[in-house]
Amino acid sequence: MQRWTHYRFRSVWDLDAPPALVYSVLEDPARYPLWWTQVRRVRPVDERSGTALIRSVLPYGIHVTLTGLLRDPARGVLEVALRGDIEGWARWTVRPRGGPGAGRTRALYEQEVEVRAALLRRFAVPGRPLFRLNHALMMRAGRQGLAALLAGPPEAV
């Protein structure tokens, strides 16, 4: 049975930077608005959690609280729980791409969420294709923003 308010997303970002550098940028959500324009605001709550406002193409902002579940630099994994307008989890897995010492990275983003915001639930069936497109455009812009940051001067990272 299709749950129209349930989403699973998967995005792969190939980046021309070493995995350790990519991981260090991804593990600092407070800086996301500097390179990912759809992440409009991030505010820390404590050492493990914070709030974020996310808005892509559609004229609706998603308010969410993120709580760190896993931070494992050796395995290249970052995972958070999401609560608010959407509830579920999101995970980054950062791995080397190419041969040893190639200095390139593949970052896999996975997310599984249930929509909780009343307006988004109301438009769950007719809006589903638009919601998926909105997410895809956001992820594309995020990859471009991160790639631009990593290609810039080292002091910017």
CATH code at 67? 3.30.530.20
Quote the Cα angle for 35-147-47, to 5°. 45
The pLDDT tens digits along the chain (157 residues) read 568 999 999 999 999 999 999 999 999 999 999 999 999 999 999 999 999 999 999 999 999 999 999 999 999 999 999 999 999 999 999 999 987 678 899 999 999 999 999 999 999 999 999 999 999 999 999 999 999 999 999 888 8
What range defines the domain where residue 14 resides?
6-127+134-152
d(CA 110, CA 124): 21
In this prediction, residue 157 carries a pLDDT of: 87
Contact between 78 and 55 under an 8 Å Cβ cutoff? The reply is no
In a domain, 54, yes or no: yes
In a domain, 157, yes or no: no
Strand-pair category, 77-84 with 6-15: unpaired
In a domain, 1, yes or no: no
Give the side-chain half-sphere CA count within 13 A for 129. Answer: 1
Strand-pair category, 104-115 with 6-15: antiparallel
The total number of structural domains that make up the chain: 1
